[in-house]
């Protein structure tokens, strides 16, 4: 047990500590906002990247509305003498409590999903506890990846391709947000290839092939990998940059899986989500300003990650028809790319200083959302009192009276059920 007085350590968009109670509260509040319903299907689901962003929303929505069973995988840091555990660690503990309270059967593993050891360990759990997998959700976001075949460590970069990128950006380094200018030099060929190795479809394909090799794919198995297209305003640094090249590789991988590994009713999709404030998106230059403007235009009409996850689950489970575009991608971003919405965002972007003056609430909303990702700034949480920072990774309730704890993938991290 470790009671600590914690204060946020923040520099611009970088927040290096998290608040345990606040992080748990973000999970509980998202849960309460998801309409409770169930179709009784209880599919077996493997979620890679369950602890943040769209992965977390997909987990909670799947539990709340479809009674999903299965395993979530994340790579989160435990508490140290100098820092709290990561927000994703505390969020996972909160999600596990919800699973327990609702009588669910969902396990949580903390390990490097890119490694062969992690794949073997997780698939052992799948085979022992659940049998075949109905849905695999791929929502991993990481700055680096070690290729399990070569041992090469690839680092991703956020850069344009071909020519420099200059654009306005949101600056939170002062008391009040302001507009600054950024300039990024184009990526080298090596940097672009490395980014594809980290953020493209290589690891996704390895997971699907590993499941297939062990006959763990259900007859109507589907797998969905999260991607983003976004606006023409941010395209030079996103869709036309190194990240976009990686996302294109992800989309190409879906086609390769459908033509090779998967058969019959089994399908692989990429899912184009709409804009959201996530730990990953906040690191991309200009995205904060664009999202603040989008919030100004849409207000509460900006769809949350949970609302988008609800649409995704309804399509994957057949509750609503599956709607894909000409490239076979599931589209959840129509609300963002509506021409009328983009016209209004473009007006603000044309004069970003004046646009920010009109979007002060949008900018404040963005930073509040970012802080909430780490458990800060939530009404009703007492940040003036010490909080318990030592929170265990979820330990499973044995299903048949046996001890089902497992050791984790050679990383010295406890990979246990939730």
290 is catalytic: no
Cβ atoms within 10 Å, residue 276: 19
Which residue, among 281, 285, 295, 206, has the nearest Cα to 52 in the 3D structure?
Answer: 281
Are 378 and 25 in contact by the 8 Å Cβ rule? The answer is: yes
Q: How far apart are CA 327 and CA 251, in angstroms?
A: 9
**Residue count of the chain:** 418
Task: Please tell me which residue in 75, 138, 165, 238 is annotated as part of the active site.
Answer: 238
CA 12, 17, 19: angle at the middle one, nearest 5? 115
Are 100 and 397 in contact by the 8 Å Cβ rule? The answer is: yes
Which residue, among 138, 21, 14, 141, has the nearest Cα to 84 in the 3D structure?
Answer: 21
Q: How far apart are CA 402 and CA 393, in angstroms?
A: 19
Residues contacting residue 5 through CB under 8 Å, at least 6 positions apart: 385, 386, 387
Which residue, among 248, 244, 227, 247, has the nearest Cα to 236 in the 3D structure?
Answer: 244
Are 418 and 107 in contact by the 8 Å Cβ rule? The answer is: yes
Cβ atoms within 10 Å, residue 334: 13
Dihedral sign for Cα atoms in the order 261, 263, 266, 271: positive
Active site amino acids: 238
């Amino acid at each position: 047990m470790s009671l600590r007085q914690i204060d946020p350590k923040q520099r611009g968009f970088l927040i290096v500590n998290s608040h345990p109670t606040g992080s748990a509260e973000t999970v509980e509040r998202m849960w309460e906002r998801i309409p409770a319903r169930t179709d009784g299907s209880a599919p077996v689901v493997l979620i890679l990247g369950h602890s943040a962003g769209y992965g977390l929303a997909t987990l909670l929505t799947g539990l709340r509305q479809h009674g999903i069973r299965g395993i979530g995988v994340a790579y989160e840091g435990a508490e140290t003498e100098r820092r709290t555990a990561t927000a994703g660690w505390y969020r996972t503990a909160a999600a596990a409590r919800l699973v327990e309270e609702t009588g669910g059967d969902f396990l949580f593993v903390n390990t490097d999903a890119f490694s062969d050891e992690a794949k073997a360990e997780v698939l052992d759990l799948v085979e022992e506890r659940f049998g075949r997998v109905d849905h695999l959700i791929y929502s991993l976001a990481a700055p680096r990846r070690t290729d399990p075949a070569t041992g090469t460590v690839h680092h991703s970069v956020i850069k344009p391709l071909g020519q420099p990128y200059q654009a306005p950006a949101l600056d939170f380094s002062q008391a009040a947000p302001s507009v600054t200018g950024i300039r990024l030099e184009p990526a080298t060929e090596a940097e672009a290839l490395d980014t594809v190795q980290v953020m493209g479809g290589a690891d996704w394909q390895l997971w699907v092939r590993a499941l297939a090799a062990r006959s763990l794919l259900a007859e109507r198995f589907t797998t969905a990998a999260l991607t983003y297209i976004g606006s023409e305003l941010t395209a030079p640094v996103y869709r036309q940059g190194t990240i976009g090249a990686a996302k294109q590789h992800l989309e190409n991988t879906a086609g390769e899986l459908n033509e090779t590994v998967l058969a019959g009713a089994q399908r692989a999709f990429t899912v184009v989500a709409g804009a959201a404030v996530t730990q990953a998106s906040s690191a991309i230059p200009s995205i904060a300003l664009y999202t603040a403007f989008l919030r100004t235009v849409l207000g509460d009409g900006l769809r949350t990650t949970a609302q988008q996850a609800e649409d995704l689950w309804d399509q994957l489970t057949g509750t609503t028809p599956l709607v894909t575009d000409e490239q076979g991608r599931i589209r959840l971003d129509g609300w963002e790319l509506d021409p009328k919405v983009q016209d209004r965002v473009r007006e603000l972007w044309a004069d970003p200083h004046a646009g920010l003056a009109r979007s002060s609430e949008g900018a404040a909303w963005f930073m509040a959302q970012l802080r909430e990702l780490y458990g800060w700034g939530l009404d009703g949480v007492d940040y003036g009192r010490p909080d318990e920072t030592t929170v265990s990774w979820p330990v499973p309730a044995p299903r048949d009276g046996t001890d089902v704890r497992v050791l984790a993938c050679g990383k010295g991290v406890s990979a246990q059920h939730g």
